[in-house]
A and B are shown apart, each in its own frame.
Chain A
């Protein structure tokens, strides 16, 4: 659906993005991850036809962004970093204006407006001035604007910035609900966001793609997972008994005040069950057993700091 080849953008001497190559399949949600200033917004602005690239090509749905901008723009819904709203208009007036801009036929306009208002949960504020809305609502109006013409491709630049946790959750669910139906590129610098919504991520740093892979294999070394076990006391030869469970590759006891073990094993449910059984039978007093989830975060940091980035 989206093909990007050797895409480069320079602002004077500064290279904002450097020879990016990636593609997004139809119906996929792609997370675009990077620090502030890494080149996410630049890439999105080029894809939407807002600004031209210095070199390289980008195409959406088979149309080149530079050669057929009108065709491409019809297929795209775009939510920029700052929602492009007019504070003096009512929500409905604004959406009707965007529908005009997007060339939505008159006959479908009110139907489509109602649909996005419902989708983005704007029913209560439809007759209010956008200037009087809270930031969360404005962001949702921005999202509604991007959806009004039912685009095939949705490009969202940090759509959850400024939302409260409940709204973040709603926005994520909304985006997840579009899976299969629409192709989505979604930029953010928040990791948990990507983990919660995306199928695949691209990590970009200083204008270069540093990683590009499906989320479920991301950061996993082989197919091993780590499980943290908290117990009241480390029972007799608990470590040996755990190591003996088939599928367990390693057991580490980390005991600093509390008694914790980290078990590295294959990612299979029956192994987990067996491990818990062993812990309980050893009378160690099992308190908690949880998978170690910071793999993604660690991986991300290693990518960026490995490149000499400065992450405080």
Chain B
């Protein structure tokens, strides 16, 4: 365990010593800020229309759900930048020799690296808490729903980060790792529409629901609607743990070559 803490500390240092952490944090918050501003705009528009007796109002909770679904999607773009270097860089710099000849326990390395990238992502997401603050200030959001949404986000992020780590372990080029991580995350999201499309077009029910289940989108959406299903938690946790185990295997396989 002390080994993974050492790795965690070093990885966090590396993030903040390179401009990458600041750039990503800045860009992410800027994009989310734009979306949130738009969100406030829509909210005000609907409410003022409603106040003068026209049309239907929109609930704050409905909007918040959209906001966080957007955030979960945008985080797919952010993840590759934080996970690309995890293993690819070690391979390129010949530092695996140091890690492999240190008395680390079996999962120390993978765990330390995962926790480092994960805590960066969690930090970013926590900064977005400021939106909750504004919502409370000028509206009356359902706080429990926001709570489950954040729980869903944290679980989804664990999946993203573990997948990014796995892909980084497979290559020695950061750029390749980033591109493939992005493609993989996007495909995972699209599985939902793909599965639904297959079911709708062909009525073929064996594959459609399976693809839908494999996509994180549906699982996250039920969190953002205030639902905590055991199946969703199991999905996210098992996805993360299996991916971390594969990462461990891939990293270990480097020794056999």
- Asked if residues B97 and A80 are in contact (CB atoms below 8 Å), the reply is yes
How near does chain A come to B248, taking the closest CB pair, in angstroms? Answer: 15
Return chain B residues, CB-CB under 8 Å to A178.
none
- Residue-wise interface mask of B (1-20) relative to A, using a CB-CB cutoff of 8 A (1 in contact, 0 not): 01101110110011001100
- Interface magnitude class on chain A: 20 to 34
* Chain B, residue nearest A84 (CB): B98
Asked if A85 lies at the interface with its beta carbon under 8 angstroms from chain B, I say yes
Distance of A70 Cα from B104 Cα, bound (Å)? 7
Are A103 and B3 touching (Cβ within 8 A)?
yes
Asked whether A100 lies within 8 Å of B2 as measured between CB atoms, the reply is yes
B255 within 8 A of A: yes
Contact A101 B14 (CB under 8 A): no
Q: Does A209 contact B (CB under 8 A)?
A: no
Assess whether A188 is interfacial by the CB under 8 Å rule.
no
Question: Bound complex: CA of A57 vs CA of B9, how far in Å?
Answer: 36
Nearest-neighbour CB distance to chain A for B170, whole angstroms, equals 19
| B144 at interface by CB-CB < 8 Å | no
Contacts of A45 in B (CB 8 A): 97
Cα A80 to Cα B5 with chains together (Å)? 24
B48 at the A interface (CB under 8 A): no
Chain A residues near B95 (CB, 8 Å)? 84-86
Pick from A78, A82, A101: contact of B7, CB under 8 Å: A101
A22 interface hit (Cβ, 8 Å) = no
Asked whether B94 is an interface residue with its Cβ less than 8 Å from the other chain, the reply is yes
17 residue pairs from A and B, CB less than 8 Å apart: A11-B257, A49-B101, A50-B100, A52-B256, A78-B98, A82-B97, A85-B93, A85-B95, A86-B10, A86-B93, A88-B13, A88-B14, A89-B13, A97-B6, A101-B6, A101-B103, A101-B104
What is B's interface to A at a CB cutoff of 8 Å? 2-3, 5-7, 9-10, 13-14, 17-18, 93-105, 255-257
8 smallest A-B Cβ distances: which pairs? A100-B6, A84-B98, A101-B102, A73-B103, A82-B94, A80-B97, A84-B95, A48-B101
